Amino acid sequence: MRCSVVAVGTELLLGQIVDTNSSWLGEQLASAGIDSLFQVKVGDNLGRIVATLRSTLEQADAIIICGGLGPTHDDITREAIAEIMGVELEMNDEVALVIDQLFTSRGRRMPQNNLRQAMVPKGAKIIEQRRGTAPGLICPVGEKVMYAVPGVPFELYEMFERAILPDLLARSGEASVIKSRVLRTWGDSESGLNERLVGVINELEKVGNPTLAFLASGWEGIKVRLTAKANTESQAIELLDIWDAKVREQVEDLVFGVDGQNMESVVLQNLRERKLTLGIAESVTGGLMAGRLTAIAGASDVFRGAIVSYDSEVKFELLSVSRGPVVSESAAKEMAVGVRKTLGSDIGLAVTGVAGPTEQDGVKVGTLCVGLAMPNGDVRSTTFSLPYGREQMRQFSVISALNFLRQSL
């Protein structure tokens, strides 16, 4: 069963509303083992909606249409569906009565244009509305089907789970499960990862299941997504486990987390497991690292705090950094030692660098120096050359420094 999603509404094209419905539907379809072909957005124009539905239906077995079922003149999804089906719209008295009773129960007068929502393409099946006024529709087109649901998310979710998904599964005639696993990596480019994994990719192309895809996610790293399809969830997970191991064998500790984990949560958990506390000294990141760490619930059990030593005098006076250039590995080491002592933490982590827009003391924009003071007295450092752009460089500094700590642990 192949099912595509068409989101209707000019506001989606103008960026006034973010289309979260399509992403939610894609996730639900995948979990049910139903293949998604396309997710399309189209404005409130009858000709374009009809053309979009026709072209999409040529390649899909089913379409879920979100939006355009309201009472106003620009809600024309019903008209477009009727044209595709080659039928007329007709008033459904039961739907009209439900809408009227809903307004009456709220002590409000029903505007006459709300009866537009009771107009149904002939031959369509009603999905009873339980959370609003517009019903959903199940519309057969030969052996294929179109489903129409309101664009209001909580109305859409309820109709999908109650009526659309069971109908899709019944039409598919088979039960299957699609499961994905995202391996989150840091330390190599997308092309570099592709090169490391070329053998695995070639194997996967021969067997066809699972599939592998790269998702570049900026300062969240490069994601390697494995997607497996099987008859049962346990079989899909078994497939993912096999190929997860093959990927890790090639990329080693570039993988720092899985699925919803991020670098901050992984580092905090590593510290927690080792019963170690962390204190940080931030210069170039200006408190951003502390902000990202404390955004993780429970961080306080291992994270002691941060000193934002943005001004050089703070580095000299509070962290006992030697006077001189402050963007260097030696300064980063002294910052790490100083913050460990000042905050009484087991580990001190420090970052200093140049975010721009101009170089500092001859040091190029994008330079990051990281210092790390470990519990055993080991003090180490490293330097990164990061992308230009002030915000980009600061964000990349956070994940680079935390990854240096993760690998050292």
pLDDT tens-place values along the chain, 409 residues long? 899 999 999 999 999 999 999 999 998 888 787 888 899 999 999 999 999 999 999 999 999 999 999 888 888 999 999 999 999 999 988 888 877 777 777 777 777 767 788 899 999 999 988 877 788 999 999 999 999 999 999 999 999 999 999 899 888 876 677 788 999 999 998 899 999 999 999 999 999 899 898 888 888 889 999 989 888 889 999 999 999 999 999 999 999 999 989 999 999 999 999 999 999 999 999 999 999 999 999 999 999 999 999 999 999 999 999 999 999 999 999 999 999 999 999 999 999 999 988 888 889 999 999 999 999 999 999 999 998 888 999 999 999 999 999 999 9
Question: How confident is the model at residue 72, as a pLDDT?
Answer: 83
Question: How confident is the model at residue 382, as a pLDDT?
Answer: 97
Distances (CA, A) of 208 to 201, 202, 241, 350: 10, 10, 16, 46
Of the candidates 268, 273, 270, 334, the one whose C-alpha atom is nearest the C-alpha of residue 307 is 334
The β-bridge partners of 306 are 280
Superfamily of domain 2-172: MoaB/Mog-like domain (3.40.980.10)
Distances (CA, A) of 71 to 67, 99, 125: 11, 11, 19
174 Cβ contact list (under 8 Å, min separation 6): 1, 33
Asked if residues 44 and 74 have their Cβ atoms less than 8 Å apart, the reply is: yes
Q: Helix or strand or coil: residue 80?
A: helix
Asked if residues 270 and 408 have their Cβ atoms less than 8 Å apart, the reply is: no
Of the candidates 84, 52, 71, the one whose C-alpha atom is nearest the C-alpha of residue 110 is 71
d(CA 284, CA 397): 8
Rounded to 5°, angle at Cα 248 from 246 and 249: 65
Question: How confident is the model at residue 174, as a pLDDT?
Answer: 66
Rounded to 5°, angle at Cα 312 from 307 and 316: 75
Q: List where CATH 3.90.950.20 sits in the chain.
A: 263-408
Rounded to 5°, angle at Cα 242 from 238 and 244: 110
Kindly report, residue by residue over 138-182, the tens digit of the pLDDT: 999 999 999 999 999 999 999 999 999 989 988 887 667 778 899
Q: How many residues are given for the chain?
A: 409
Of the candidates 193, 202, 250, the one whose C-alpha atom is nearest the C-alpha of residue 224 is 193
Does the domain spanning 263-408 belong to CATH 3.90.950.20? yes
Q: List where CATH 3.30.70.2860 sits in the chain.
A: 177-258
Backbone angles phi, psi at 283, to 5 degrees: -115, -75
Task: Please report the beta strands in 13-171, taking only residues with DSSP state E, as ranges in sequence order.
Answer: 35-42, 62-66, 89-91, 119-121, 125-127, 136-141, 144-149
Q: List where CATH 3.40.980.10 sits in the chain.
A: 2-172
Question: How confident is the model at residue 108, as a pLDDT?
Answer: 73
Distances (CA, A) of 252 to 30, 271, 396: 29, 21, 21
Q: Which CATH architecture has domain 177-258?
A: 2-Layer Sandwich (3.30)
